[in-house]
Amino acid sequence: MTFEGRVAIVTGGARGIGEGIASALAAGGAKIAIFDLDGEAAEATAAALGVEAIGLAVDCIEETDVAAATEKVVARFGAIDILANNAGAGRGPIDLSQFQGQEGLLRGGALSDNQAQWDLTLAQNLRTTFLASKAAVPHIAARGGGSIVNIASIAGQVASPTLAAYAAAKAGVISLTRSMALELGPKGIRVNAICPGFLWTRAWEGLATSIQMSNPAMKDLTPREVFLNVVKQGVPLGREQTPADIGNLAAFLSSDLGMNITGQAIAVDGGITLR
C-alpha cells in the first residue's frame, strides 16, 4: 500500500485509534494532517510520524473550526485525498428507564442531565463525522476521487445497554457512510466505516472502572485487568483489538487495493458480533 503524493486528514488523531490510522497511512508515504482538541498532542504525534505532517488544534464539533483547519491543510499541502473521521467520545450512560410520563428525553426537566449527555454524545460522534466530510469532500472531488473512512463501533451494530446515545450515534455513522457512498460514488469518492471491538483506550479505561464498581468480583482488579477479563469472556479470538488493527484496515480501504470497496461497515472485533 503506497500513498506517495497523497494527503490525509485524520480527526482525533493525536492518540489511540487516530494515531494508529495516521501511523499506517504515514508508513505508506502519505502527508498527514492531524486534527485534535489537544493541539500540543496533535503536533507531537505529527512530529513522530516520520513524514511531512502537521498537527492542528481543532474542535470537530464546530463547523467554523473544521472548515478553517481544512483550508490550512490545502494551503500547506495543496490537496486532500483521504479523510479518516475518528474524532469521537462520549460513552456516558443514558438511563432509558427514566424516559416515562410527561418528562421525556426532549422535554428537559428532571431529565436534563440525560438530555445533555445525549446531545453531546451525538455531536461528538455523528456531527463531527458530517462536518469534517462536508469540509473535505470538495477538495477530494477536485482530485478526481479518494477515500473517506469513518470510525463507527460495534455498538452501532448490536444492542448496547446503558450506551444508548453512543450506540445511536455510531449507528448513525454507519447509515451516513452508506448514504455518502451512494452520493459520492460518481465523484470517485469511496466511503467506508470501520467498527472497532474492544480496544484499550481512555474511554475503555473509564468504562472498565464503571464495570469494576458494579461487579464485586472485580473489586480488587485494576481497570486494565477488568478490561482483559471482559476481552477473555467476550471475544471469540480471545484477544483485544489495537489501534494498529484499525489503522491497517483504514490504510487498505484508502489504498488502490480497496478501489472497489465502498459503503461497507467492517467490524474489527475478534468475532464479538458473531455472538
Separation of alpha carbons 157 and 170, rounded Å? 8
- Of 147, 139, 140, 137, which is closest to residue 25 (Cα–Cα)? 147
3-class secondary-structure state, position 85: strand
Q: Which listed residue (3, 35, 130, 166) is catalytic?
A: 166
Separation of alpha carbons 167 and 170, rounded Å? 5
Q: Do 186 and 203 meet the contact criterion of CB atoms below 8 Å apart? A: no
Separation of alpha carbons 212 and 231, rounded Å? 14
The helix, strand and coil proportions of the chain, stated in percent and rounded to the nearest 5, come to 55, 15, 30
Q: At what angle do helices 164-184 and 112-122 cross, to 10 degrees?
A: 30
C-alpha grid cell, residue 27:
508508513
Does the annotation count 25 as an active-site position? no
Give the single-character DSSP code of 199: B
Q: Are strands 265-268 and 31-36 parallel, antiparallel or unpaired?
A: unpaired
Total length of the chain = 275
Say how far residue 100 (Cα) sits from the centre of its chain: 32
Separation of alpha carbons 53 and 22, rounded Å? 10
Separation of alpha carbons 17 and 217, rounded Å? 30
The residues that are catalytic are: 166
